[in-house]
Amino acid sequence: MRSGRLIALALFVIAALVAGCSESNPPDPITGDWHGAIEVPGQPLQVGVSFHADGTAAIDIPVQGVTGAQLKDVNSDRNGVSFAIPDIPGDPVFRGKYESGSDRITGDFTQAGQSFPLALQPGKVAALARPQEPKPPFAYKSEDVTYRSGDITIAGTLTEPQGPGPFPAILMITGSGPQDRDEELMGHKPFLLLADTFTRAGYAVLRTDDRGVGGTGGKLDDANYTDLSNDAAAGVSYLRARPDINPGRVGLFGHSEGGYLAPLVASRPDSGVAFLVLMAGPGVPGSDVLVEQTRLIAAANGTPAEKADTQLRQTIELAALLKAGDLAGAKELARKHNETLPADQRLPEEQAGAQITPYLAALVGYDPAPALAALRVPVLAFFGGKDLQVPAAQSEQPMRDHLAADPDATVYVFPGLNHLMQPTETGLPDEYRSIETTISPEVSTYVTGWLHQRVPAK
């Protein structure tokens, strides 16, 4: 589960930058790509901006996953460069000037009353290093596919080993929030990496866009768990109907919330699911996960005790309303909580309750125990020992208890790894982007070994 999706009170501080021209007498307006760093003490923030000839501009902040975000109040003439980032608490603004002969634009970025120096030079901001990300050409077949789930079309990518098949297959199910088929988040593409790993190991892999993302129809915010489990079941049916797939050897891989949905699908009578792999799938109700992640993340951030207690109390109140299905009450509570924040930290009023949706209520209200207890297929459930979003200490033993009647269930904890299965110092979500590793190789080796034992590729 992604903490940013679950509580409207969590805010990311976003920074901005400027653009300019390399001439001593720059054109008016200044255009092109520029990059630099906002000099926040101890953690300079790399940023890039593109100024366009029509007077608009867009910002990239790689470490925060911001790409092409439109700026407002843009000015980029030879007398000064300035702009603002819309709809962000603290009213972030940059004001600077072009330095004749130095090929730089210098100034200050200001947000919530704090100012930091920012100097820009020509060129695009560097992309984050992601050494594990697979690059074409691939040593296997890759096909974009679509199929129906009720009234909507699901779009995804199917990768298969070379050769005639039929192959065992894995359907990937993403974590919470609107995810694309690669589960791209924090600058990483974990499902792309896992699909590449499993396909090279001899398995066909289908990964899909969530509702309302990419080529998939529908709207995630309006969906409940019946809708989402139906989407996954439709993927299983699609795979089993293909002549290049072994219909008796189709399994599910679920990450985080996908670890809720995968057992829910597999526990259906005649689901056709032959095995399950659950990565950081919770073993307790969503409301419990939300409360515990709020407590742990506040502690890891060094939040003062009084503020942490307030956050925890507010989260408990919000979770109770969502669990009861009282969306109107939850929206009103979110708005009230927002009003208690300092003015420069508040969300715009129209955004304060925007994350309170039927989908969020389904997530928070879900109890995985019945579906897990009904499983009678091989199951691998694993956790990161430093995961603060689905803490192993909270879910490991309940997962073992729920799977006790399954004749082939393995529960394992990888020490030192976070929610994405990265090696981590703190486990905090803010750290995900700064870690170059997408998934620790020990995880890929362990999971592939388990698959080969239970579902041999040949």
pLDDT in tens, 235-288: 999 999 999 999 999 999 999 999 999 999 999 999 999 999 999 999 999 999
The answer to whether residue 135 sits within a structural domain is no
Q: What percent helix, strand, coil does the chain show, rounded to 5?
A: 30, 25, 40
Question: Measuring CA to CA, how many Å separate 294 from each of 6, 309, 311, 333?
Answer: 10, 10, 7, 17
- Residues 389 and 355 both lie in one domain: no
Which helix (H) or strand (E) segment is 311 a member of? helix 305-323
Q: Higher model confidence: residue 360 or residue 104?
A: 360
- Residues 254 and 327 both lie in one domain: no
- Cα–Cα distance, 11 to 89 (Å, whole number): 8
- Residues 145 and 256 both lie in one domain: yes
Q: What is the pLDDT of residue 352?
A: 84
**How many structural domains compose the chain?**
3
Contact 290, 366 (CB under 8 A): no
43: its two tokens: 């953690």
- Residues 104 and 19 both lie in one domain: yes
The answer to whether residue 131 sits within a structural domain is no
Q: In which residue are the tokens 């795979």 written?
A: 239
- Boundary (domain end) residue, out of 122, 154, 175: 122
Domain that holds residue 93: 3-122
Query: For residue range 326-343, what is the model confidence (pLDDT) as tens digits?
Result: 999 999 999 999 888 887
- Cα–Cα distance, 10 to 294 (Å, whole number): 10
* pLDDT above 90: residue 65: no
Query: For residue range 121-155, what is the model confidence (pLDDT) as tens digits?
Result: 999 999 889 999 999 999 999 999 999 999 999 99
Question: Measuring CA to CA, how many Å separate 162 from each of 26, 104, 169?
Answer: 55, 52, 14
- Cα–Cα distance, 50 to 39 (Å, whole number): 20
Q: What confidence tier does 25 reach under pLDDT thresholds 50, 70, 90?
A: low
* pLDDT above 90: residue 8: no
Buried b or exposed e, range 376-387, using 16+ CB within 10 angstroms: ebbbbbbbbbbb
Which helix (H) or strand (E) segment is 261 a member of? helix 258-266
- Residues 348 and 338 both lie in one domain: yes
The region of weakest confidence among 64-68, 106-110, 132-136, 164-168 is: 64-68
40: its two tokens: 């926040």
454: its two tokens: 């239970």
Q: What is the pLDDT of residue 349?
A: 79
- Boundary (domain end) residue, out of 336, 362, 388: 362
Which helix (H) or strand (E) segment is 225 a member of? helix 225-241
- Beta bridge pairs of residue 433: none
* pLDDT above 50: residue 289: yes
- Residues 235 and 315 both lie in one domain: no
The region of weakest confidence among 119-128, 232-241, 349-358, 393-402 is: 349-358
- Residues 180 and 291 both lie in one domain: no
Number of H helices, E strands in the chain: 11, 17
